[in-house]
Amino acid sequence: MHIRVNDQVEVLTGDDRGKRGKVLSVDREVGKLIVEGMNRVYKHVRRSQRNPQGGRLSKEMPIQISNVLLVCGSCGKATRSGARYAADGSKDRFCKKCGKSMGQIAPPRDAYAKK
């Protein structure tokens, strides 16, 4: 899974199609993530000590990871990402459109270092 917290993503399907937002959390087991300002729903809350007013709260709900695309920081386009090993043996994410690195996934390992 190549999407992490604080990544910029573009929504592909649903009411928020075409919009971009920041990833707030990722649930790897279920395969969903929460994007800032996307997939908002109203939760009806009754009055309580915590919520003296009550009413409707607007909150973000999880989106399936397959319904978003990662936005490259260098070219600014929504793109698929890949993984490759760098010369020092560390594993990097990279943009499939421009080829630039998008950050490290795993620390360097001697077995994958180029000699």
State the CATH number of the domain containing residue 61: 2.30.30.30
17 and 66 assigned to the same domain: yes
CB 83 within 8 A of CB 89: no
DSSP H/E element including 10? strand 8-11
Residues 87 and 43 in one domain: no
For residue 43, is pLDDT > 90? yes
Contact between residue 21 and residue 11 where contact means Cβ atoms under 8 Å apart: yes
* Claim to verify: residue 94 and residue 59 sit in the same structural domain: no
When divided into structural domains, the chain yields a total of: 2
**pTM > 0.75: yes or no:** yes
Let me know whether 11 and 67 are in one domain.
yes
Are residues 18 and 57 located together in one domain of the fold? yes
Shared domain check, 12 and 66: yes
Both 65 and 110 in one domain: the answer is no
Q: Does 8 share its domain with 37? A: yes
Residues 50 and 85 in one domain: no
Please name the residue that has the structure tokens 């937002």.
Answer: 21
Indicate whether 30 and 84 sit together in one domain: no
pLDDT (tens digit per residue) in 68-84: 999 999 999 999 999 99
Express each pLDDT in 14-29 by its tens digit: 999 999 999 999 999 9
Segments forming the whole domain that contains residue 10: 1-71
